[in-house]
Structure 1
Amino acid sequence: MPNDSNAIDATAAPMTAAPLEGVPPATAAALGDAQRQAVSELLRVSPVADDLARRFAAAGHALALVGGSVRDALLGRLGNDLDFTTDARPEEVLRIVRPWADAVWEVGIAFGTVGCHKQDFQIEITTYRSESYDRTSRKPEVVYGDSIEEDLVRRDFTVNAMAVALPQKVFIDPHNGLDDLARRELRTPGTPQASFSDDPLRMMRAARFASQLGFTVAGEVVAAMTEMAGRISIVSAERVREELNKLVLGGRPRRGLALLVDTGLAGQVLPELPALRLELDEHHRHKDVYEHSLTVLEQAIGLEEPGKPDLVLRLAALLHDIGKPKTRRFEKDGRVSFHHHEVVGAKLTKARLSRLKYPNDVIRDVSRLVELHLRFHGYGTGEWTDSAVRRYVRDAGPLLDRLHKLTRSDCTTRNKRKAQALSRAYDDLEARIERLKEQEELDAIRPDLNGNEIMDILAIPPGPQVGRAYQHLLELRLEHGPLGREAAEAALREWWQRQ
């Protein structure tokens, strides 16, 4: 058993909800609940975890469940992704797990991590280590350690600096992470400055945990984040993007995003967001565009399918108005206008997501939603022709469902009559789209003649003229609905004569 005052046997009495001296009753009750949940979760994974631990012990090495796996076990939400730490070096880890695992991968071996798959479990085993950055490097320097205490002190937060030594199930908590977990508070094992200097990405991770787990962040941690925000610049765009994704996809993204903005981190990684803070929204002058955008994000989340967070929709909701600062104009009558902010915003969105190394399809879809988010406001009380409705559907393409959700979410007015009128108008638009779909199979709008038929009728070879003819027939299709082959051929010949 490790020689630590906070190491306890997870299967013995201390893992019950016995009263703790000097601990407030509410905190003590939370600790008791956490301990009971942990026992239940550990029993579920024990067959695989214990089997693996015995193999390490037979080879003369220690193994412990660690970090987020222990935290999630205590929260009663441990999944099938298990993180372990060991004194064995990566080469020895490979020698132990290869005969045991169903599959093994070495993607993270340069950082001391070996991954494997066993039954339904995804497992990562990392050698005791410490990481630190120099002032200019984007990659951590990995130094292996010799004790679990040395490994835990390098962890990002105390709630992630707990371990359960296996197979004996000894609970190791040298930094009182269990207490912080009960309070749902993020602190660092050492000083926040030392932790964030070792890995600046931990500052974004604090905001991510605020979103994912609903935790508060200790004052000294917030102060260090504010003081060291510029340090995030040495972290690669890919790592920043992954943390931002996890934050945005969390259950409380407003909390995490507000922390990024308040500490200055957003100014480093997503400067368009804090730039919205002082901009007045032309429709809702009672709130600035920053607050409006966070509200739109929350309302968009409310329209998602349960259990299916949508990154593209959430990013579009967050960024839909980022073109407003560059397009703000003060009119002679005292109004504030933001003409064409959706076009400018789409360009800014594309540029920012590209810098953050998002996949091309995400960049394309989010930018397109930003560009289209105002289109509905020309609908009025149903003045659009069927042709305009067809164009709306065509321009949205496969993003139509997301555009519906984004447009509905963009209404944050406190004026109930106005909100109800907008909702009714969009209900009417959606109903018209559905009717047209039934009539015309609108999801796959195509001209009445395809490219081969156009070439046969006009007796022309493949080339730009075929594309122009196809586009002309598509415009007729959008304007008038299905023409039928005979009418389409007549229209094509008439167009061709004019050429």
Structure 2
Amino acid sequence: MTEPAAEAARRLENARTRAAAMFEALPAEIHDLGRRFEAAGLELALVGGPVRDAVLGRVSADLDFTTSARPEQTEEILRGWTHDGGIWDMGREFGTLGGIRDGVKVEITTYRTETYDPASRKPQVAYGDTLEGDLSRRDFTVNAMAVRLPSLELVDPFDGLEDLAKGVLRTPVAPEQSFDDDPLRMMRAVRFVSQLDLRIEPMTAAAVADLAERITIVSAERVKDELVKLMTGVAPRRGLELMVELGLADHVLPELPEMRLAIDEHHRHKDVYEHSLTVLDQAMDLESPAGSGGPCEAPDLVLRLAALLHDIGKPATRRYEDGGVVTFRFHETVGAKMAAKRLRALAFDKDTIKKVSRLVELHLRFHGYADSPWTDSAVRRYVTDAGDLLQRLHRLTRADVTTRNQRKARALSRAYDELEERIDRLAEQEEIGRIRPDLDGNAIMSILDLPPGREVGEAYKHLLELRMEHGPLGAERAEAELRAWWAARAEG
């Protein structure tokens, strides 16, 4: 046996050993559930992601099962297993029921097949008869493994275990058939590449490229869910690169491949596309560790989306000036609108859209600080405009430095260090993160004897401008400034 073959065999045997230990360690409640199905003359098997994760030595939070039982039979067994009737209907029309016992949650689905009509966004579901047939409809061989219960027999008709050991992603049936049945599997392919450090088998990759346009029949919500999983994985860059290489991005995130056309105004070594991917990598490096409770805890979806899309407006604003200079004036403003439009089309929630587009809009605000440090007033405005996005803006701004000129990179880093120190000093002095006028609306109405209305808002805005410019005024000076503004306004 050659050395590569011996190494592959060793990895495969290690995977089998890991998986066997994980299956044996399943909760006692699961073993009991398997015995109940067996006693009823029915089959039950752990399937999909939990089996794959066990092979990888990971504990899966989800316990998904497939069964020969029809939903009414599954329900009857679950009622006895849960003891207290803790079951729920997760989609009876698709054959799926859920249950819980002593904190152990399960989802059980009847063997099935499902396909997509060429013009439909919804699957057509029919019950199947065998475990092997059910596994054949799974997206990839690494997810087409099952463990029969209670025997713990590993069922792997498509060599998913070997593929996982080799790091290969392929479909259990012809890839054209698999992706035609459910085009979302193409998005899942690029997601698994970035999430599980796999490589797509050539025929599978070719099928994605040929059928990429078919992703447009899938609902925006389902596509968005896969994109979020990709973006919050350990290596989103590789998945995004594959989306571009295989043509999926043309239909899901067309602004991404369009950035390959734009060279930034400083003629640096990276085009805007490569620059944006690098900024994404660097922003991830600045996240706080998962579970640490720190700012921008990994994975920070808002920060990552903003890093990827921060220069989305450059292709639309590219202009050629005299002397061959290329400019992208106001690309941050245009980009903020473009980012919001794309995220809306992908069915992202309003809060995420608002935060990402605001970060895109603000990402150039620091530009020029190194050459001309700001006044305290400008620092206050920077903090106020960022609001609760300040920590993300700090990281996005730092990540946006991709120059190979180390001297320039160090200068920019020192300048931003200084800005953060100034923000911290002002924060100690005057609660800079929550800047408000020295007088609130009630005080303004009392001093000027005004009812609620537009004039109170104008007075509030005037006092806020003074607060930004001069820092805390104190109630006495603020009242004097307010009365002077009101008198000047009356005279005008």
TMscore range, shorter length: over 0.9
Deviates more, 1:230-239 or 1:52-61: 52-61
Counterpart AA for 2:425: R
What's the CA shift string for 1:181-227, capped at 9, x where partnerless? 11011011110000001100000000000111010000001100000
| Alignment match, 1:110 | 93
Work out which of the residue numbers 65, 68, 78 in structure 1 matches 2:46. Answer: 65
Work out which of the residue numbers 485, 488, 491 in structure 2 matches 1:498. Answer: 488
Aligned-partner SS, 2:270 = coil
**Is 2:68 the partner of 1:87?**
yes
**Runs of 5+ consecutive residues of structure 2 not aligned to the other structure:** 291-297
| Alignment match, 1:282 | 265
TM-aligned CA deviation for residue 351 of structure 1: 0.3
TM-score normalised by structure 2 residue count: 0.95
What's the CA shift string for 1:410-467, capped at 9, x where partnerless? 0011110010011000000000000000000111110000111111111111111111
Aligned-partner SS, 1:402 = helix
| Alignment match, 1:196 | 179
Distance 2:2 2:145 in 1: 21
Aligned-partner SS, 1:80 = coil
TM-aligned CA deviation for residue 112 of structure 1: 2.0
What's the CA shift string for 1:24-75, capped at 9, x where partnerless? 1111111121112112221221412211111222232110011111110000
Mapping for residues 60-209 of structure 1, pairs under 5 Å: 60-101=41-82, 103-209=86-192
Distance 1:303 1:121 in 2: 36
Conserved? CA contact 1:65–1:164, under 8 Å:
yes
TM-score normalised by structure 1 residue count: 0.94
Distance 1:118 1:471 in 2: 58
Conserved? CA contact 1:165–1:171, under 8 Å:
yes
TM-aligned CA deviation for residue 123 of structure 1: 2.2
Mapping for residues 60-459 of structure 1, pairs under 5 Å: 60-101=41-82, 103-307=86-290, 308-381=298-371, 383-459=373-449
TM-aligned CA deviation for residue 335 of structure 1: 1.3
Q: In the superposition, relative to structure 1, how do residues 21 and 36 fare at CA in structure 2: closer, same or farther (>3 Å)? A: farther
| Alignment match, 1:17 | none
Aligned-partner SS, 1:339 = coil
Aligned-partner SS, 2:63 = strand
| Alignment match, 1:52 | 33
| Alignment match, 1:4 | none
Residue correspondences, number: 480
TM-aligned CA deviation for residue 108 of structure 1: 3.0
Counterpart AA for 1:363: I
Conserved? CA contact 2:260–2:272, under 8 Å:
yes
**Runs of 5+ consecutive residues of structure 1 not aligned to the other structure:** 1-19
Conserved? CA contact 2:24–2:152, under 8 Å:
no
Aligned-partner SS, 1:24 = helix
Conserved? CA contact 2:337–2:357, under 8 Å:
yes
Work out which of the residue numbers 472, 477, 481 in structure 1 matches 2:471. Answer: 481
Distance 1:497 1:276 in 2: 54
Distance 2:487 2:88 in 1: 65
Question: Which ranges of 4 or more aligned residues in structure 1 deviate by more than 4 Å?
Answer: 20-23
TM-aligned CA deviation for residue 286 of structure 1: 1.2
Distance 2:81 2:378 in 1: 62
Q: In the superposition, relative to structure 1, how do residues 50 and 120 fare at CA in structure 2: closer, same or farther (>3 Å)? A: same
| Alignment match, 2:9 | 28
Q: In the superposition, relative to structure 1, how do residues 213 and 384 fare at CA in structure 2: closer, same or farther (>3 Å)? A: same
Q: In the superposition, relative to structure 1, how do residues 413 and 284 fare at CA in structure 2: closer, same or farther (>3 Å)? A: farther
| Alignment match, 2:293 | none
What's the CA shift string for 1:275-327, capped at 9, x where partnerless? 00121022353111111111100111111111220000000000010100000
TM-aligned CA deviation for residue 91 of structure 1: 2.5
Aligned-partner SS, 2:81 = coil
Q: In the superposition, relative to structure 1, how do residues 410 and 122 fare at CA in structure 2: closer, same or farther (>3 Å)? A: farther
TM-aligned CA deviation for residue 388 of structure 1: 0.3
Aligned-partner SS, 2:311 = coil
Aligned-partner SS, 2:425 = helix
Conserved? CA contact 2:268–2:403, under 8 Å:
no
Distance 2:387 2:397 in 1: 15
Distance 2:63 2:57 in 1: 14
| Alignment match, 1:15 | none
TM-aligned CA deviation for residue 253 of structure 1: 0.6
What's the CA shift string for 1:362-395, capped at 9, x where partnerless? 0000000000000011312452000000000000
Aligned-partner SS, 1:142 = strand
Conserved? CA contact 1:319–1:349, under 8 Å:
yes
Distance 1:427 1:256 in 2: 33
What's the CA shift string for 1:449-488, capped at 9, x where partnerless? 0111111111111111111111111111011000000000
Distance 1:61 1:292 in 2: 56
